[in-house]
Every structure is written in structure tokens, then in C-alpha cells.
A = this chain, B = another copy of it.
Amino acid sequence: MFYHDKQLQYTVRVDTPSPVFAKMLQQAIGGVEGEIRVCLQYLFQSFGARGPAKYRDMLMETGTEEIGHIQMLATAVAMNLEGAPNFLKEAMAKADPMLAATLGGMDPRQYLSAGMAALPADSNGVPFDASHVYASGNLAADMYSNVAAEATGRALACRLFEMTDDPGMKDMLRFLIARDTMHQQQWLAVIEELGGHPGSLPIPNSFPQDEELTEYSYDFFATGIEGVDPPAGRYTEGPSLDGRGEFRVRIARPLGQEPKLAPPIPQAYAEAQQMMDLPDKS
């Protein structure tokens, strides 16, 4: 179960409130790269963990840390909105372009729906949706989902860092960026524990590989039409990363049939003409 205290994990300070930055910060709360997503993702991976308990426990540690990140960012949004009330009505009334621009750049729901606070939504106001919580039951798949989350999360935090000159906000982001650095490597370290590429690939590594059509398992398919050269890279020649094959290029051409479905059944009520025996059936 879970506990809390009253302090934030790291200081949140806003020197010059900015309603426009308050909108940008929403991406780090409820965006697909944001903290609600990683929090729920790590917790659900932990709640459903089967196998070595150490991974269940580690995931709970970091999932719990992320609740505190949501709290920090929600606090940062509220603080960036402190100055807003003074200009809202003025912006409506006066023809001051700077006020009007700030109003246009705000998230209206931070005022209308939340009374000057953060929303569990992204920077366009789209609510967070838990379909982004990846917890597959396969440890390696989950670790790569986590690396992807922390990589896009750190890119987002760096871009937010770029959008502000506020010393308090920059300090908070420096902390969050550092944590993303750690978390990227934390998940990749699990892959290393699993034996790296040879030990973990292909994911899931518990499926007997001779069941798959291995003649296509290490082929780069070039799908360009005639005259389009296939690209070359580490993935087009040399040993495969799992050490069990050799990368090759294959010009992709159909290996299958032309699909012909049975005619419509009467109960599905296609148009009558679809059910006639027409001569043009190629």
C-alpha cells in the first residue's frame, strides 16, 4: 500500500508566472510522454508482475517516485497561473495585443474547468487515456516500452527547458531531466541482466524460434518499386543482433495470393447488385 508526506520530491519555484508555459507543462503531466503515463505504467507492470519478485519491487519503487513527479508538475502549473487573473478580463476588454496573445496561448480549461490549476490532460487539452499504459507481461517488452517512455519524456523535458527562461522552472526541469537519464539506463540495465541482445532477443524469447519462418527472420524487405534503391545499414548485412542469423536484403514481392472473399451472405444486407453473379468478377 502507499503513503505520503507533505513535501515535494524536489523544489518547485516559479519566479515569473507564465500562463503560456502553464499550458506547455500540461504535456509533461497528461501527454503520452508524461508522468501520469509512466506512473501508471510502472505500477501496472508491478501489480501484474510474474516471475522474479525483484522486478516487481523495482517497478514499484519507480512507479511510486513518479506520483511525486505528477505532484511537482501540477504544482508548477498552478504557480505559473498565479499572475493570470489580473489580465484575463482585461484581455477580453482591452485591445492590448500582448494580453490577447497570452489569452490565446492559454489553456482555457485551466481556468474554466479547474479554476487555475492543472488538468490530467496534454498541452492541447486532450485528456490522458490509459491505453498508453503498456504492461505486457513480458519483461523485455516492458523494459523497451519504458525506455521509449523515458526517451520521449526526456526529449519533452529538454524542449520545455528550451521554452522558459524562468530560473525556478529551469531548476525543476534540470532535476526531472536527470531522473529521466537514470530511468532510461535503469530499464536498459534490466536488459543487460537478461543477457543483452543475445539473451533477450527476439522478444518474447520463450517462443520456440523454429516455429517461426526463419527464412524471413533476418531479411530487410525492400518495398520500393523498380528503380528505388534499397537503403543500406547495419540491418542489411552482417550478423543479426541476437547472433542467430545473418542480415540480408530481399526485394519484397508478393508471396501470397490475390484475396478473394466469399460473396456477401444475405443476412448482411449488402446491395442486391453485390450478390448477383456479375461477369466482371475478375
Contacts and interface: CB of A to CB of B under 8 A. Distances in A.
29 contacts: A1-B223, A6-B57, A20-B92, A48-B114, A52-B281, A54-B233, A65-B252, A100-B101, A109-B122, A114-B137, A115-B269, A116-B265, A128-B129, A129-B131, A136-B151, A137-B264, A138-B268, A138-B270, A139-B271, A140-B271, A144-B148, A147-B148, A159-B267, A182-B219, A185-B240, A185-B241, A185-B247, A188-B197, A189-B235
A154 B5 CA distance: 28
A2 B64 contact: yes
B192 A50 contact: no
Contacts of A103: 20, 101, 104-105
Given A8-B257, A65-B223, 19 more contacts: A3-B224, A4-B61, A7-B258, A12-B257, A49-B261, A51-B273, A53-B280, A54-B233, A54-B282, A89-B267, A97-B97, A100-B105, A101-B104, A111-B268, A116-B137, A127-B131, A145-B148, A155-B203, A155-B204
Interface residues of A, number: 202
A9 B125 contact: no
A60 B224 CA distance: 9
Q: Which of A103, A180, A184 has the most CB atoms of chain B within a 10 A radius of its CB?
A: A184
List 3 tightest A-B contacts by C-beta distance, closest first. A115-B137, A124-B125, A48-B117
Nearest to A51: B274
A266 B206 contact: yes
Most buried by B among A49, A127, A273: A273
B75 A47 contact: yes
Contacts of A231: 54, 57-58, 61
A29 to B, nearest CB: 9
- How often does this chain occur in the complex, in copies? 6
Most chain-B CB neighbours within 10 Å: which of A95, A131, A155, A197? A155
A2 B4 contact: yes
Interface in A212-256: 212-228, 230-235, 240-242, 247, 252, 254-256
B131 A264 contact: no
Most B Cβ at <10 Å: residue of A180, A188, A204: A204
Interface string A131-157: 111111111110011011011101110
Interface string A41-80: 0011001111111100110111011011011101100110
Nearest to A108: B123
Given A137-B117, A184-B201, A224 B61 contact: yes
